[in-house]
Structures are given as structure tokens and as C-alpha cells.
Amino acid sequence: MAWPWAWAAGWPARALPSGRTRGAASRPDCDCLPERPNIPENRTMTLLSTRRGIMQTTLAGMATAAVAPLPRAQAQGTGQKRTLKAVMHATLGVLDPYATTAYITRNHGYLVYDTLFAMDDQMRPQPQMVRDWTLSDDKLTYTFRLRPGLVFHDGAPVTAADCVASLTRWWKRDLMGTRLMNATQTLEAVDAQSFRLVLKHPYGLVLETLGKPGGPVPFILPARLVQIPEDQRITEVVGSGPFRFIAGEYRSGDRVVYEKFEGYVPRQEPASGLAGGKVVHFDRLEWLEISDVQTAASALQTGEIQVMENVSAEMMELLKRDRRVVLRPRGIGNSLLMRLNWLNAPFDNKLVRQAVLNAVSQPDYLAAQVGDDSLTQPCKAFFTCASPYATDVGAPAGQNLDRARQLLKEGGYNGEKVVILHPADLASGSALAPVTEQLLKSIGMNVQVDSMDWNSLLARRARPAPIAEGGWSIAWGIWSDLDLMSPIINLNVDGRGRRGYVGWAESAEMEKLRDAFALEPDQGKQMQLVEQMQRLAYDDVFAIPLGSYKVVSAHRDSVKDVVAHQLIVFWNMKMT
């Protein structure tokens, strides 16, 4: 299997789907918009009504074996829509696909939008909306032609102008996208079905960038939706993907509803990763937003839902005993990282940041958050232990509380409040704040934990406000390793300060190293640059890696042909 992003800069040239080869190139950065949720006022009541309804059904079904089982979604009456119900890892609060790196928004986007290219299960870019393309002999001009029959959910045909407008809005907000933008001389429509990208200099990551799976993804939207002021959010959900978003039934905190888009024409290739034919085999998809994992697992056992995106370790033990449930580890793991806010005291002080770094014990975090040693891996590599750039260079040897207390003293820490953001409704991150609270108190820090839902946390995390005005000190990154494996895409080594990723680490030296990596064709010299970057990242404490773990999905045995290598998708699935 090809390493994800292993070809990012200077890895051996390889064959593209067209038969051509490509090698190395260069790339620059993004300014991501604040992550503000679109949450209606009735969020709490609707969440409670959904959870209460499922719990009542679940408890009734468990009370006695004589009670008839709940009807499955596929066993519906004649004329009724075939509905699949799923519980995802978080509440969908941000609908603008370019405005956040949140994975729930990305997963939503893959249902309703389509992409020009997509990564298959070997992490190779494959054409998706694109029918064919050519590259000039001087490696500067790409001409893309769309496949016929592409139409948006509002009935309008997809045109090259839509693609140009979408890419122009997207690439200002994405790390890889901005690197492509900075390498581009012109991007323009040739005719209704073709558009042309002309580069300033050869750039080897064009197709990988157009097919990048991490958010923000370069989804294609109607030009009328994306040609709005830069500071405004896209609120109307219209794409050309295999599902239509049913806006009238959307209740953030309760449910998200999609229906099969009859106008979608799948590719002929088999589904692979995020590429290939997106064939939908049911009429309706409902995401039930249930933050309580036990409630969700019980609903899966009774057949009230058919898919559970993420399964915690304790729920795995329960579900393993149910022959009607299939547990499926996904091919790409996740990593946990602590983000320190460089703008606010006390973490504007490097020595205080280093104190927290020395206090951390990865095994403690993994035990509290995951709880299953068979699924976890302590990992000190900023670019993950699954990456070809894995190294322990620069990392502390292990937890050293005495050293942490000494660094606090040397840094002149004077009891400044440390505000930790706690995602109370996010099962995959709910243990991180409590562990940190106890840890920092043990070394003498003044700690306050602010609990909130995940979408509110994303919104607050994105604001560079002082502590007295609702700012924060510590927040979290829960990343797919897919988005960490190279310095080109890893936001945790972003050194652009206020223009960069939340936490706002600033280092001109880091930016020089990343630019040098992007231009370096020699693999050995690349690794030397990676080691320099990681030493700097640990010394300045850009972030604190907390370890990695495998993600497990679950579905009823009546659900077949599940594609879940990078993320769980809902095309190709069948209900028998």
C-alpha cells in the first residue's frame, strides 16, 4: 500500500491513472475561517426528545424476551421509503463545507457534494467529476474536462464555471489549497465542460490537492452560492453528490436527513476509498445525533439504527457479544493532540508551555479516552507513527512532574488562570479535559474547565480572544492520521501566527523549514528537514501529541458492502 502523502515532495515518481508519471514539487498556506456553529435555539430539547424516544424503545425491548423486536429499516411496508439510520461521532453544526476542518462537516459534504478527484483505498487520486485531463509537455498547463450528465440538486447543470468559482473560494481556506493557489498563474473556464489551470512553475501535487480527503475538502458547489463576500457563510446546501440534503427536516442536535438524488450518475468503477462509483441502494438516510454512546449502542442492538460511526472500547465489549452486530476497524487511525493558546498568558511563555509538555503521560490519556491497549499506541511523532516521517527526535523521554514544576518556577508562573475547553457531548474527546485538569493542578496551576458541546467548542476555539473576554488556554485536536502524515498538510506545525491554525503558534524558522521541505527532491534530505521541524515543534511546544488509536465502526449484519477505509461512507451500502 502506498503511504498517504508519501509522494508529497520528492518521493519516487509514480504512475498516475492516465499512465503519466509525476515527481516532486512545492506548495504555501491557508487562512481558515472561524468555526461558528449553525445551531437552532431548540437544540437541547430536540436532542433530549431523540435520546428519550430511543431509550424508551430500547428499554421496552429489553424488558422481556416476549416483546416483539423493533422493525428494521429495510422491513418497511409497500410504498414506504427504504431508510437507513446512523449515529455519527458529533453534531453537525457547520454546513459551509469550506469554513471548518471539523470531520462531521466533511462527512456531510461527501454525501451532498462531489469532487473533481478522490482518493482510492490505496491513497491514489482518481478522477471523479473529471472525465479526462491533459498535461502540457512543460508540466505547466492542466486542462480538465467534466464527465457528461453532472447536475446539481436544484436541476442546474454543473459547468466549468462552477468548478472555477468553487476552487477559487476553497483554496484560500485550505493549507494544501493555498499552496496550489500560490503556484497558479491562471485558473479559468475554457467552455461549459472544460477548465484550464496554468502554473507558474511545475508543481507535482495538483491531482493530490484536488482529491485531498481532509477538511476543508475541495467540493464543487454552484457558482451562485460561492460567489458571496468572503466573510459570509454558505448556508444553502446544494451539491451534485449522491444524496440531497433535506433542509426542512434538519435539526442540529437531533437529526440530519438526506434522500437519494435520482439525478446522480455514478461512475462505472467499483467504489474504493472515496473514489469510484457512488451507488446509493436506499431512499433515505437519517443521522440521529445521540451523544450518549450507551444509548447509541443499545439502539444498534435493537435495530433502531443500522450504523454507528465510532464505537468506544467499553461499547465494543458489549457489541462483540451480539451476533447481529459487525465491528469494523477503519484502515486509517486517529491521533489526539493538545493545543496551547500562544496568545494568552500563561502559554505566551515558552517555559510554561514546556512545563505542560513534561507533565503529560500519553499512556494516561490513552487509558482514559480509549481504554483498550489493543487499539492504542503511544506515539511521539508529530507526523504519526504510521507515516514515513515517523521519528522520536526532540520528544521528552517521558513524564517528569518535578521537571514540570521547575519549568513553571523558571517561567515565572504566577497563578494565571488556565481555561480548558471540554467537549462534553463528544465521546471521542470527553476524557481529555478531566485528565488535564487533574494533571495541571498536581503541578500547581490554576485551572478552570469550561464544558460545552463540540460545535460550541469549535466556535470558541477559533476566536483569538483574551481570557477575560471568553478566550481559552487549552483545546484539542482529534485528527485522522490521514491529515497529519506530512509537513505539507499537518496544521500542528503551522507557524504563521495569527494567520494560521488555532493556538496561533508563530515561527518564521518553522515556515522556512516547511518551504524547504516542499522544494526538496531528495528523500534523505527531506527526513533531515522533518527532524529539524520536530525538534523545533517540541522545543517551542507547537502542540502536545497524546497518542494514537484505531477507530472502530459498527453496523447491523443486515448492512452489506460497507466502505470504511478512510471514513465511513453511505454509498455502496446495501440493506438485506
CATH number at residue 171: 3.90.76.10
Are 217 and 340 part of one and the same domain? no
Give pLDDT, residue 431: 94
Q: What is the mean pLDDT of the chain?
A: 86
Confidence of residue 36 (pLDDT cuts 50, 70, 90): very low
Residue 59 maps to a domain: no
Grid cell of 12 as nine digits: 519516487
- Which residues constitute the domain of residue 404? 334-549
Are 544 and 421 part of one and the same domain? yes
Are 205 and 343 part of one and the same domain? no
- Measured in degrees and rounded to the nearest 5, phi and psi for residue 369 equal -85, -40
| Domain's final residue, options 190, 222, 254 | 222
Query: How do residues 169-227 score in pLDDT, each as one tens digit?
Result: 999 998 889 889 999 999 999 999 999 999 998 887 899 899 998 889 999 999 999 99
Q: In whole angstroms, what separates CA 337 from the centre of its chain? A: 14
> Which strands make up the sheet holding 130-135, listed edge to edge?
130-135, 141-146, 194-199, 184-191
Grid cell of 477 as nine digits: 485536536
Rounded Cα gap, residues 230 and 240, in angstroms = 23
Are 343 and 492 part of one and the same domain? yes
Query: How do residues 329-371 score in pLDDT, each as one tens digit?
Result: 887 789 999 999 999 999 999 999 999 999 999 999 999 999 8
Q: Is the whole-model pTM more than 0.95?
A: no
Query: How do residues 84-133 score in pLDDT, each as one tens digit?
Result: 999 998 899 999 999 988 889 999 999 999 999 999 988 889 999 999 99
More confident residue, 148 or 427: 148
- Mean per-residue pLDDT, 433-444: 97
Residue 534 maps to a domain: yes
Are 199 and 344 part of one and the same domain? no
- Mean per-residue pLDDT, 507-512: 95
- Measured in degrees and rounded to the nearest 5, phi and psi for residue 61 equal -70, -30
Residue 144 maps to a domain: yes
Residue 576 maps to a domain: no
CATH number, position 346: 3.10.105.10
Grid cell of 164 as nine digits: 472555477
DSSP category for residue 287: E
Q: What angle do CA 405, 407, 411 make, to 5 degrees?
A: 120
Strands (E), 215-275: 219-220, 243-245, 255-260
Confidence of residue 68 (pLDDT cuts 50, 70, 90): very low
| Domain's final residue, options 167, 189, 222 | 222
Residue 140 maps to a domain: yes
Residue 292 maps to a domain: no
Grid cell of 83 as nine digits: 431508510
Give pLDDT, residue 460: 95
Proportion of the chain above pLDDT 90, given as a percent: 68
Query: How many structural domains does the chain have?
Result: 2
Give pLDDT, residue 79: 62
Residue 243 maps to a domain: no
Residue 567 maps to a domain: no
Predicted confidence (pLDDT) at residue 253 exceeds the cutoff of 90: no
Rounded Cα gap, residues 416 and 356, in angstroms = 14
- Mean per-residue pLDDT, 153-165: 98
On the 0-12 / 13-18 / 19+ scale of CB atoms within 10 A, 12 is exposed
- Mean per-residue pLDDT, 513-519: 84
